[in-house]
Structure 1
Amino acid sequence: MTPLSFAQRRLWFLAQMEGPSAAYNLSMALRLTGDLDRRALDEALRDVLGRHEVLRTTFPAVDGEPYQRILEPAESGFELPVVEVSQAELAEALPAATRLPFDLGAEIPLRARLFAVGPREHVILLVVHHIAGDGWSLKPLARDVAAAYAARCEGRAPDWTPLPVQYADYALWQRELLGEADDPESVLARQVAYWREALAEVPEELALPFDRPRPAVASDRGHAVPLELSAEAHARLTEVAREHRVTVFMVLQAALGLTLSRAGAGTDVPIGTVVAGRLDEALDDLVGFFVNTLVMRVDLAGDPTFAQLLDRVRETGLGAFENQEVPFERLVEELAPARSLARHPLFQVMLTVRNDGPDELRLPGLRTEGLSTRALSDATSMRFDLDVSMTETFDHGGAPAGLKGRLVVAADVFDERTARRLAEWLTRVVEAVVAAPDTPVGAVGILDAGERERVLFGWNDTAADVPGVSVVELFEAQAARTPDAVAVIAGDVELSYAELDARAERLARSLAARGAGPESVIAVALERGAELMVAVLGVLKAGAAYLVLDLNQPGERLAFVLADARPAMVITDPAGADAVRGFPGPVMAVDAPGSEEEPERTAAVRADHPAYVVYTSGSTGRPKGVVVTQA
């Protein structure tokens, strides 16, 4: 039995784990105007099926182990159904056909539909599962279909040069080339060692400007927006790439990393990209899943200039390309990062840059127009948090004519408006850095004037009329309005506003009877819970300031805080008693019974009196106490 390639095996595994999905469907749609020979087109597609074994391969499993089952063309079950549709119906029929999932164990990974819109107008849709093809495969596929159709229109079989190898040969050769991981001299062992070092401590999840928390399982839905750079920016980008001995891809990779860093992603930004993976010219004309994924980190630490960042990106990229044979799927197995159904392992941002022109299927005797198949699968094709793809365009003289593409975000965590904002930010950054490569990355702005105005002034316009009353007065007013409403929930304990007010009032009287009042500090050594709320409110009712002690802190820190703040007394319970055992002042239980003879609170509390004291972390020196007033 022929094994699957490493890339195929990962897709097969995902299909078993996630169930039927169209997330890995590749589509090519073409509008055909003129006199179409339907019989010749059907025969041409069958010719292509015969030429490329992988298109007539199913992937069943024996005892949980998948293998490639190559079918003869006659037993493949392939057909070209003709669907009569109106122009209006086509808008729904095309996406629906694109999103139909494949049963990899029983169904070949090629599907075709011919939509008849009129006597002289058709749309041909080809859908290939990623397990049998990649983006580079669409060119030889289109070329072979065109050649076969031309031959069949003349009543003959296509006369093409036989392919030197088939995809099954590649799957076997790949395993032989890589060797075994336990052989230190093997390609696999050497390259895994490189990637283990290159991806050491890579961020498990990149902190992007999400609109909502990530769900437990990703839905593969996305929001796509257009992305475009002008011919002027393209020309300058090309100049910068040449001046700094990098590729256009590397400039865009550095700019994307810079954009995300400025948006809050930090200074270590891992970005994935795909390489053709066709390491032998014998594979150039073959349809199959050859692409490999590389992870390259953009290191922005130390605020380098963009030119210096390009040097870092070039060094990282060259190392990655030299070690591109190890399949990403095998790399994930070897590095064993934290796995999740909610996010992609090792990286969540993908960048693809193409300069080889669009994939076109041209049939003789027909006017052809490619339809955007990417737009057909936006709702199902998103496997990353962010996916940026761009294609270079050139004029008739070969001069840069701009870059066109799209930016897609995961709908699970992003809104479409955020996708548009990210596209604007990336465009702005690219234009800025190619205009002035010596600019430090920390000085490159991503916001336009309106966004800066909103962040600096709009979001900070928080002025509000505040009533001239204390926290205690606000609480007591609420307790009077809703005495029976729940005020505190702590585990199984619930206190109503009336109960909390009564308990805090008793504590406040006891504190006042012991001299607590304005300008005095009362330490509170309690775990989180209802008693902590009673204590804090009781201290405020007494007019004093509270100092909450974190009982999880080391004893030395607690001793320092007590010595520095010099509280008049400590409120605690048995759980906190050990933490304040060395305190020289009085220690009072939070539930100490009050006395009917204790006077009512009479101290006047002003807005400038202290309300509480809190200490800094002390991570850069000794902790410092901060006093917050009643106001």
Structure 2
Amino acid sequence: MIPLSFAQQRLWFLNRLEGATATYNIPVGLRLTGPLDTAALRAALHDLTIRHESLRTVFPERDGAPYQQVLAEPGTGVPPAEGWDILTVRPLTPRDQLEEELAAAARHTFDLTAEVPLHAWLFELGPQERVLLLVLHHIAADGWSLAPLTRDLATAYTARLAGQAPDWAPLPVQYADYTLWQRELLGSESDPASLVSQQLDHWRTTLAGLPSELALPVDRARPTVATGCGGRVPFQLDPAVFARITALAKEEGVTVFMVVQAAIATLLCRLGAGTDIPLGTPVAGRTDVALDDLIGFFVNTLVLRTDLSGDPSFRALLHRVKATDLGAFAHQDVPFERLVEVLNPERSMNRHPLFQVMVTFDDGAVAAGIELPGITATALETAGERAKFDLAFGFSDQGGQGLGCSLEFSADLFDPASAEALVRRFQLLLDALTDQPDQPIGTAALLDAAELAVVDRPVPGLPAHEWDGLTLHRIFEQRAALTPDAVAVSFGAQELTYRQLNERANQLAHRLRALGVGPESLVGVCLDRGLDLAPTLIGVLKAGGAYVPLDPTYPADRLEYIAADAALTALVTEQAHRELAAAVFDGPVLLAEESAGGPLTDPAPVTTEDNAVYVIYTSGSTGRPKGCTLTHANVVRLFTATDGYFGFGAQDVWALFFSYAFDFSVWEFWGALLYGGRLVVVPHDTARAPEELHQLLVEQQVTVLNQTPSAFRSLANLPTGDLAVRAVV
């Protein structure tokens, strides 16, 4: 028995797991104008399957294991047009049915156990006009196979038109030979000196800690099982941009592909996917000249892990990409399917393993089409797009005429309008990156002039432009004076008005002042989510200090380290965590619930906009927590910069979704209170339960919601009819 190649094994497994689908079909459409000889075409297609064993191979099972069965050639004396017939001829009137018929044919599902993996449809539109659609299953062919396929089909048609059999030299090898040779080349994984062992070692190191899923700006959450439905957006690059791409590539000693790859990684990073961006790309896998003229599934897939940390310049990023790509291409022999098995990432039927964004680049050879005697043949876009990946960027060199570009997208995740917007972002970004390659990638333009005008447009009636030079608590005091009886904070059934919140914060501030808290003093805050949190954070600022979150869910040794490293002046906690606070800090400890009794008046201001608001400790690159400080001016600038874009106001209800130990909570907390809105403190368990969070959003009529991409995807599956949310950040 002939085993399957490693690449074939994965497609066979997916076929068994998902059932027969059109996801791995390769449709090739050609519009043929002229006097086509249908009998000669039928015979030529038969010749093609005789020449290439892969086109007459089926994949039955024995004892649960698949194997390649090459169907025998028809016996002597059998006319070349018989044996097995893969051509369906269909007169088509009216013509307006063509698109629908092409789409249906492109969705043909192959029975891999018994059906040859090539079928052809000839749609007759008139005496001199036809459309030929070839549909191959990927298990028998790849993109690089289209050149020998169209070349050999043309040779056979020309011969049959003349009443002869094609006179071509026999192929030196067949796909089955490659399958056996592949296993011999790679060697045994039990042998440390084998090629497969050495290359696997490289990939284990290179892909260690790879993110399992990119956080893309999707329109909806993933389904449990991907449908494979997709769409395609063709686009062009401005000739001036393409000229800069080629010039920059030459200048930096990289390829055009590397420039495009770096730009795509930058786009995804800027859209929130992080700084660790794995991209997939195919390589021909035809490492021997004997394979060049063969139709078969040779292509391998590489994972190009792109590091964008540190906000490098685009020029510097190109050199990172070059090093990554050269390392990947030097270790391209390990089949992707085996790499997945060895690395064993978290598997799911709704996403591709190791990467979800593909980048392809070809030299345009396939686009040349086919030459048939007396026939004008032009390539035809085929409908019925399928999506194997979340996103797939495709580029084709058009021989000095620029790049042919397209974006294929999963319809499970993206609407066509969103995919078109991604393309526009990519075009803008590539223009900016190649125009100024020495600027940090984080500063390159992502918005066009019209969008910038919207962002920069002031919203009448908002006071943010008057906040410059003020501290956060001073702005809050002004807001409390304007709307003292409006609800400022709610937690379950409990509420505090702006007057009550300000007075409770004042009482705590006076007590902290008495303990010596002043400008740049750091005060630990160890509280659960609840109504005491807001007056405590504001009270620390009014006293002149900055708060240091000590989340009681953290390990005690971490809290002890933070308290010591920050050199806290005091610590505010609650009765439930009094013992924990005393264990991690040996200085003054105040209970938030016992702050009543002090003066209700605003303390005299002692800080400026340049004083610290908080010191939040992150994990740190060394494993030890590291403090990150932000000033009043930093936070105020965040809101003044975005003021005209969101139009926040007193009518808004904000959800405090994030822990106060996470910096995003600063945006949520002060976004509500500086604009006079209401802050809804989300209980810890509710924040982690999408259905409970959804219920809270409906009950509280939250209008501004802040989410991580993963949390939002879970929430997006739930009904939206009763929600009041107008902005998701």
Which region of structure 1 is more displaced relative to structure 2, 186-195 or 455-464? 455-464
SS at match of 2:234: strand
- Judging changes above 3 Å, is the alpha-carbon distance between structure 1 residues 622 and 307 closer, same or farther for their aligned structure 2 residues? closer
SS at match of 1:3: coil
Using the TM superposition, give the Cα deviation of residue 78 of structure 1 relative to its aligned residue in structure 2, in angstroms. 3.2
Instruction: Pick one of 181, 188, 194 that aligns with 1:180.
Output: 188
CA distance in 1 between partners of 2:535 and 2:61 (Å) = 69
Contact 1:236–1:435 (CA under 8 A) maintained in structure 2: yes
The code of the aligned residue for 2:51 comes to R
The code of the aligned residue for 1:58 comes to V
Quote the residue 2:308 is aligned against.
Answer: 300
Using the TM superposition, give the Cα deviation of residue 442 of structure 1 relative to its aligned residue in structure 2, in angstroms. 3.7
Quote the residue 2:616 is aligned against.
Answer: 617
Which region of structure 1 is more displaced relative to structure 2, 462-471 or 419-428? 462-471
CA distance in 2 between partners of 1:312 and 1:525 (Å) = 42
- Judging changes above 3 Å, is the alpha-carbon distance between structure 1 residues 177 and 527 closer, same or farther for their aligned structure 2 residues? same
The code of the aligned residue for 2:373 comes to P
Matched ranges for 1:415-426 at <5 A: 415-426=415-426
Quote the residue 2:393 is aligned against.
Answer: 388
CA distance in 2 between partners of 1:165 and 1:155 (Å) = 28
CA distance in 2 between partners of 1:183 and 1:606 (Å) = 75
- Judging changes above 3 Å, is the alpha-carbon distance between structure 1 residues 583 and 589 closer, same or farther for their aligned structure 2 residues? farther
Quote the residue 1:377 is aligned against.
Answer: 384
- Judging changes above 3 Å, is the alpha-carbon distance between structure 1 residues 87 and 520 closer, same or farther for their aligned structure 2 residues? farther
- TM-score w.r.t. length of structure 1: 0.78
Deviations 1:356-384 (A, max 9, x none): 330512321222222113xx132x2x122
Using the TM superposition, give the Cα deviation of residue 468 of structure 1 relative to its aligned residue in structure 2, in angstroms. 7.0
Aligned-residue RMSD, C-alpha: 4.3
CA distance in 2 between partners of 1:578 and 1:179 (Å) = 58
CA distance in 2 between partners of 1:415 and 1:623 (Å) = 40
1:78 aligns with 2:82: no
Using the TM superposition, give the Cα deviation of residue 475 of structure 1 relative to its aligned residue in structure 2, in angstroms. 8.9
The code of the aligned residue for 2:151 comes to R
CA distance in 1 between partners of 2:314 and 2:588 (Å) = 59
Using the TM superposition, give the Cα deviation of residue 329 of structure 1 relative to its aligned residue in structure 2, in angstroms. 1.0
Using the TM superposition, give the Cα deviation of residue 474 of structure 1 relative to its aligned residue in structure 2, in angstroms. 4.0
1:87 aligns with 2:95: yes
Matched ranges for 1:569-584 at <5 A: 572=575
Which region of structure 1 is more displaced relative to structure 2, 47-56 or 346-355? 346-355
Using the TM superposition, give the Cα deviation of residue 423 of structure 1 relative to its aligned residue in structure 2, in angstroms. 1.6
Quote the residue 2:374 is aligned against.
Answer: 365
SS at match of 1:387: strand
- Judging changes above 3 Å, is the alpha-carbon distance between structure 1 residues 624 and 453 closer, same or farther for their aligned structure 2 residues? closer
- Judging changes above 3 Å, is the alpha-carbon distance between structure 1 residues 299 and 549 closer, same or farther for their aligned structure 2 residues? closer
CA distance in 1 between partners of 2:274 and 2:23 (Å) = 30
CA distance in 2 between partners of 1:73 and 1:460 (Å) = 80
Quote the residue 2:336 is aligned against.
Answer: 328
Using the TM superposition, give the Cα deviation of residue 80 of structure 1 relative to its aligned residue in structure 2, in angstroms. 1.6
- TM-score w.r.t. length of structure 2: 0.68
Using the TM superposition, give the Cα deviation of residue 142 of structure 1 relative to its aligned residue in structure 2, in angstroms. 0.9
- Judging changes above 3 Å, is the alpha-carbon distance between structure 1 residues 463 and 131 closer, same or farther for their aligned structure 2 residues? farther
Using the TM superposition, give the Cα deviation of residue 239 of structure 1 relative to its aligned residue in structure 2, in angstroms. 2.7
Using the TM superposition, give the Cα deviation of residue 407 of structure 1 relative to its aligned residue in structure 2, in angstroms. 1.3
Using the TM superposition, give the Cα deviation of residue 141 of structure 1 relative to its aligned residue in structure 2, in angstroms. 0.8
CA distance in 2 between partners of 1:208 and 1:156 (Å) = 56
CA distance in 1 between partners of 2:229 and 2:484 (Å) = 47
- Judging changes above 3 Å, is the alpha-carbon distance between structure 1 residues 370 and 618 closer, same or farther for their aligned structure 2 residues? closer
- Judging changes above 3 Å, is the alpha-carbon distance between structure 1 residues 460 and 192 closer, same or farther for their aligned structure 2 residues? farther
1:17 aligns with 2:17: yes
Matched ranges for 1:331-480 at <5 A: 331-357=339-365, 358-373=367-382, 376-378=383-385, 380=386, 382-394=387-399, 400-457=400-457, 474=487
Quote the residue 1:98 is aligned against.
Answer: 106
SS at match of 1:26: strand
CA distance in 1 between partners of 2:630 and 2:440 (Å) = 35
Quote the residue 1:115 is aligned against.
Answer: 123
CA distance in 2 between partners of 1:525 and 1:438 (Å) = 44
SS at match of 1:132: coil
CA distance in 1 between partners of 2:454 and 2:91 (Å) = 53
Contact 2:24–2:138 (CA under 8 A) maintained in structure 1: yes
The code of the aligned residue for 2:88 comes to P
The code of the aligned residue for 1:166 comes to Q
SS at match of 2:139: helix
Using the TM superposition, give the Cα deviation of residue 453 of structure 1 relative to its aligned residue in structure 2, in angstroms. 3.4
Quote the residue 2:169 is aligned against.
Answer: 161
SS at match of 1:42: helix
Deviations 1:472-507 (A, max 9, x none): 76499x9xxxxxxxx94xxxxxxxx6xx68xx99xx
- Judging changes above 3 Å, is the alpha-carbon distance between structure 1 residues 10 and 589 closer, same or farther for their aligned structure 2 residues? same
CA distance in 2 between partners of 1:169 and 1:364 (Å) = 34
The code of the aligned residue for 2:321 comes to V
Deviations 1:157-179 (A, max 9, x none): 11111111111111111001111
SS at match of 1:152: helix
Instruction: Pick one of 138, 142, 146 that aligns with 2:146.
Output: 138
Quote the residue 2:2 is aligned against.
Answer: 2
CA distance in 2 between partners of 1:239 and 1:427 (Å) = 17
The code of the aligned residue for 2:374 comes to G
Matched ranges for 1:178-577 at <5 A: 178-357=186-365, 358-373=367-382, 376-378=383-385, 380=386, 382-394=387-399, 400-457=400-457, 474=487, 488=492, 550-553=551-554, 554=556, 556=560, 564=569, 572=575
CA distance in 2 between partners of 1:56 and 1:458 (Å) = 67
SS at match of 1:353: strand
SS at match of 1:48: helix
The code of the aligned residue for 2:141 comes to G
Contact 1:231–1:402 (CA under 8 A) maintained in structure 2: yes
CA distance in 2 between partners of 1:587 and 1:327 (Å) = 61
CA distance in 2 between partners of 1:517 and 1:239 (Å) = 63
SS at match of 1:43: helix
CA distance in 2 between partners of 1:539 and 1:305 (Å) = 42
CA distance in 1 between partners of 2:363 and 2:89 (Å) = 35
Quote the residue 1:481 is aligned against.
Answer: none
Using the TM superposition, give the Cα deviation of residue 62 of structure 1 relative to its aligned residue in structure 2, in angstroms. 1.9
CA distance in 1 between partners of 2:236 and 2:247 (Å) = 18
Which region of structure 1 is more displaced relative to structure 2, 48-57 or 551-560? 551-560
SS at match of 2:101: helix
Deviations 1:581-613 (A, max 9, x none): 9999998999xxxxxxxxxx9x9899999xxxx
Q: Which fold has the larger relative contact order, with Cα–Cα distance below 8 Å and residues 6 or more apart in sequence?
A: 1
- Judging changes above 3 Å, is the alpha-carbon distance between structure 1 residues 355 and 605 closer, same or farther for their aligned structure 2 residues? same
Matched ranges for 1:21-100 at <5 A: 21-74=21-74, 77-85=84-92, 86-100=94-108
The code of the aligned residue for 1:552 comes to T
CA distance in 2 between partners of 1:406 and 1:215 (Å) = 25
The code of the aligned residue for 1:386 comes to L
SS at match of 2:202: helix
Contact 2:43–2:157 (CA under 8 A) maintained in structure 1: yes
Q: Which has the larger radius of gyration?
A: 1
Quote the residue 1:594 is aligned against.
Answer: none
Contact 2:391–2:410 (CA under 8 A) maintained in structure 1: yes
What percentage of residue pairs aligned between the two structures are identical?
A: 45
Quote the residue 2:468 is aligned against.
Answer: none
Deviations 1:114-134 (A, max 9, x none): 112223322111100000000
CA distance in 2 between partners of 1:304 and 1:261 (Å) = 12
Structure 2 alignment gaps of length 5 or more: 75-81, 465-477, 513-523, 606-612, 619-625, 633-668, 677-729
Using the TM superposition, give the Cα deviation of residue 42 of structure 1 relative to its aligned residue in structure 2, in angstroms. 1.0
The code of the aligned residue for 1:234 comes to F
- Judging changes above 3 Å, is the alpha-carbon distance between structure 1 residues 365 and 587 closer, same or farther for their aligned structure 2 residues? closer
Deviations 1:455-480 (A, max 9, x none): 4557999779989786876499x9xx
SS at match of 2:87: coil
Using the TM superposition, give the Cα deviation of residue 227 of structure 1 relative to its aligned residue in structure 2, in angstroms. 2.2
- Judging changes above 3 Å, is the alpha-carbon distance between structure 1 residues 524 and 249 closer, same or farther for their aligned structure 2 residues? closer
- Judging changes above 3 Å, is the alpha-carbon distance between structure 1 residues 580 and 280 closer, same or farther for their aligned structure 2 residues? same
Contact 1:11–1:131 (CA under 8 A) maintained in structure 2: yes
The code of the aligned residue for 2:364 comes to D
CA distance in 2 between partners of 1:423 and 1:37 (Å) = 42
